[in-house]
């Protein structure tokens, strides 16, 4: 179960060139527009397919489409014919002790080949061990050992998929003893593997609240060129500890302080594809589209300034 | 053992075995170890929500409190092993039939069989259905010898409780919760399949169920009709065959002597 130490730091330069070549080879799928998209939910398939919203893009968990056939795939195909799509994976367990799941990897590659997502992302987390899948995102201490292990896994995952991925910063609930700050940890992972960042502003807010750091200072540290996508979501207070422990439930509207962090981030780095992410207490699509519009106002203003 | 391997073990010990103290050694503030319960809650919620999505009628008929108790026990007994939860909960019907507390509602296991068949029909591979035009390629005297496969989405579910009507009412998104206390114990059969990307379902007579199962097991049309007549002497071959054909229940077409359908 011991993860091997990674040799990837020695191969950084060569690795980057290969991945840039791969990125060019992917030019057939159009990039996500630097506007706001929404997470695609089955209850909204029809409304999304019929939507005339300009520059709308959709994000899905590819694991929800790892099925033999039927309407789910048909809906995604119809929607993909009209709008760009991104894949936000939840099942790779990049930071975990087990080898990659061969069935999962095969299914993911088939879906990528079929739907040509503009972006593929995953989490800086682990979710499987001892043959069991936990359907959750477990934390890792930010140590040199974890950094090397994650870098080797991201490298292997990108190689298996034949493309660059974005990695998402976690929501932190436990103050794990660590050797480096999270921004440094993430930036170093990007440097070693050529991957980019999916910056989840709500996760930064939740983690800052739960472990006591300055969310603005964190965001100000992230180099803009690494940010390929931004996530905005809602959180809820823990039933036992209240506001002292915020849980990243994706079950509520984006909160005011997260909007404020988002404004500041976009003013600094420029517009980025931004997802309104909602996975629980799914509201009518109009509510998600209203949040999308709120994000678009910020993104549009920045595009006009640029 | 390296530090990361030790951490994985400590984390799983804290979360899965409910021993948060196992994590104290690697926390800046050891008093926060109890917060590991957050992960226990989210792990359970993720799997329980997947079960409730897969078994919407059972969740309504059982009521939220009982379904949660059931889900806790099921997740502990059959945790997810694949990285997609779409098909999670395969054995819930069998689990329910043994589950303490479900004795008062023994028909719930049958409702679970129907929910499961609905999901499997929904996710089954795409395949064209047999059409009358396909059949017209055969001479009328050869039809009885044809071996016909069923569409891959087809499920023929045998039930010991007459739960179909209650199940249908509870599948409807806007249907109110129904306890279905008056379900009778009667053998019934239900057909579920997918047509034009929508899952269909209807009650089957014993003859029809036997007929479709015989086709599924590889019998020719003529043999399946004989088998069905033995099970139910009111079985009407031509109307059952035409009904199955028109509803898209039959799939590809195999010549006499070919291997039976799966």
- The per-residue pLDDT for range A167-194, each reduced to its tens digit, is 999 999 999 999 999 999 999 999 999 9
CATH architecture of A7-305: Alpha-Beta Barrel (3.20)
**Residue numbers in B near A247 (CB within 8 A):** 38, 42
Do A3 and B1 lie within an 8 Å CB cutoff? no
Q: CB A135 to CB B85 under 8 A?
A: yes
pLDDT in tens, B194-222: 999 999 999 999 999 999 999 999 999 99
Closest CA to A92 of A77, A74, A79, A105: A105
Identify any residues that bridge with A132 across adjacent strands, giving them in sequence order: A129
Across chain B, mean pLDDT equals 91
Task: Inform me whether the C-beta atom of residue B1 falls under 8 Å from chain A C-beta atoms.
Answer: yes
- Indicate the SS3 state at residue A8: helix
**Residue B218 backbone phi and psi in degrees, to 5:** 105, 5
Q: Residue A81 pLDDT more than 90?
A: yes
Closest partner residue to B5 (CB to CB) among A2, A69, A71 is A2
pLDDT in tens, B118-134: 999 999 999 999 999 98
- As a 3-state breakdown, chain A gives helix, strand, coil percent values, each rounded to 5, of 45, 20, 35
Interface test with B, best of A43, A45, A61, A69 (most B CBs within 10 A): A69
Other C-beta atoms closer than 10 Å to the C-beta of A165 total 24
- pTM of the predicted model as reported, rounded to 2 decimal places: 0.91
Which of A5, A43, A62, A70 to mutate to probe the B interface, most B CBs <10 Å? Answer: A70
Mean pLDDT of A231-252: 95
pLDDT at A15: 46
CA distance B49 to chain A (A): 10
B1 with A2: Cβ contact below 8 A: yes
> Helices B3-16 and A144-161 sit at what angle, rounded to 10 degrees?
90
Per-position pLDDT tens, chain B of length 262: 599 999 999 999 999 999 999 999 999 999 999 999 999 988 988 899 999 999 999 999 999 999 999 999 999 999 999 999 999 999 999 999 999 988 889 999 999 999 999 999 999 999 999 999 988 888 989 999 999 999 999 999 999 999 999 999 998 765 555 555 578 899 999 999 999 999 999 999 999 999 999 999 999 999 999 999 999 999 999 999 999 999 999 997 754 444 443 3
Q: Collect all residues of chain A within an 8 Å Cβ-Cβ radius of residue B39.
A: 136, 138, 173
Pairing of strands A58-60, A36-39: parallel
pLDDT at A1: 33
Cα→Cα distances B261→B133, B149, B216, B217, Å:
20, 5, 6, 6
Residues 69-128 of B with CB under 8 A from A: 79-87, 122-127
The ipTM, to two decimals, is: 0.90
For residue A39, what is the enclosing H or E element? strand A36-39
DSSP B231-254: H-TT--HHHHHHHHHHTT-EEEEE
């Amino acid at each position: 179960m011991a993860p091997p130490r990674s040799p990837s730091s020695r191969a950084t330069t060569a690795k980057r060139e290969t991945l840039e070549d791969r990125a060019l080879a992917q030019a057939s799928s159009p990039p996500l527009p630097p506007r706001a998209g929404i997470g695609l939910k089955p209850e909204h398939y029809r409304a999304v397919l019929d939507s005339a919203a300009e520059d709308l893009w959709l994000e899905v968990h590819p694991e929800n489409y790892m099925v033999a056939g039927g309407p789910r795939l048909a809906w995604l195909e119809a929607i993909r014919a009209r709008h760009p799509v991104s894949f936000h994976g939840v099942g790779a367990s990049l930071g975990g002790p087990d080898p990659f799941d061969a069935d999962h990897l095969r299914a993911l590659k088939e879906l990528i080949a079929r739907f040509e997502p503009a972006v593929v992302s995953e989490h800086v987390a682990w979710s499987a061990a001892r043959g069991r899948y936990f359907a959750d995102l477990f934390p890792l201490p930010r140590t040199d050992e974890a950094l090397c292990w994650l870098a080797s896994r991201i490298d292997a995952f990108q190689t298996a998929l034949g493309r660059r991925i974005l990695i998402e910063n976690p929501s932190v609930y436990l103050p794990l003893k660590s050797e480096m700050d999270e921004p440094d940890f993430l930036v170093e992972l990007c440097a070693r593997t050529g991957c980019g960042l999916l910056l989840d502003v709500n996760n930064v807010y939740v983690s800052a609240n739960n472990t006591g750091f300055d969310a603005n200072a964190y965001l100000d540290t992230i180099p803009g060129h690494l940010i390929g996508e931004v996530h905005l979501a809602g959180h809820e207070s823990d039933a036992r500890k209240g506001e002292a422990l915020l849980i990243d439930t994706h079950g509520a509207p984006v909160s005011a302080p997260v909007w404020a962090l988002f404004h500041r981030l976009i003013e600094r780095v420029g517009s980025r594809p931004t997802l309104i992410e909602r996975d629980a207490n799914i509201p009518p699509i109009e509510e998600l589209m209203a949040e999308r519009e709120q994000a678009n106002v910020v993104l549009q203003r920045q595009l006009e300034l640029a | 053992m390296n530090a990361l391997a030790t951490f994985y073990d400590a984390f799983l010990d804290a979360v899965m075995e409910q021993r948060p103290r196992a994590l104290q050694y690697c926390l800046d503030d050891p008093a926060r170890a109890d917060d590991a319960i957050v992960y226990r809650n989210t792990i359970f919620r993720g799997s329980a929500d997947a079960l409730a999505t897969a078994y919407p009628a059972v969740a309504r008929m059982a009521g939220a409190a009982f379904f949660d108790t059931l889900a806790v026990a099921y997740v502990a007994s059959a945790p997810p092993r694949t990285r997609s939860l779409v098909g999670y909960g395969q054995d819930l019907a069998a689990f329910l039939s043994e589950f303490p507390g479900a004795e008062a509602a023994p028909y719930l296991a049958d409702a679970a069989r129907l929910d499961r068949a609905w999901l499997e029909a929904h996710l089954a591979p795409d395949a064209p259905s047999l059409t009358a035009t396909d059949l017209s390629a055969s001479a009328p005297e050869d039809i009885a010898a044809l071996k016909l496969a069923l569409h891959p989405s087809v499920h023929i579910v045998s039930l010991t409780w007459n739960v179909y009507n209650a199940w249908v009412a509870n599948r409807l998104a806007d249907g109110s919760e129904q306890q279905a206390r008056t379900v009778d114990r009667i053998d019934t059969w239900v057909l579920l399949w997918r047509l034009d990307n929508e899952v269909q379902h209807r009650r089957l007579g014993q003859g029809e169920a036997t007929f479709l199962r015989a086709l599924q097991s590889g019998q020719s049309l003529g043999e399946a009709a004989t088998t069905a007549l033995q099970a139910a002497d009111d079985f009407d071959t031509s109307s059952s065959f035409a009904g199955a054909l028109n509803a898209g229940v039959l799939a590809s077409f195999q010549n006499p002597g070919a291997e039976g359908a799966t």
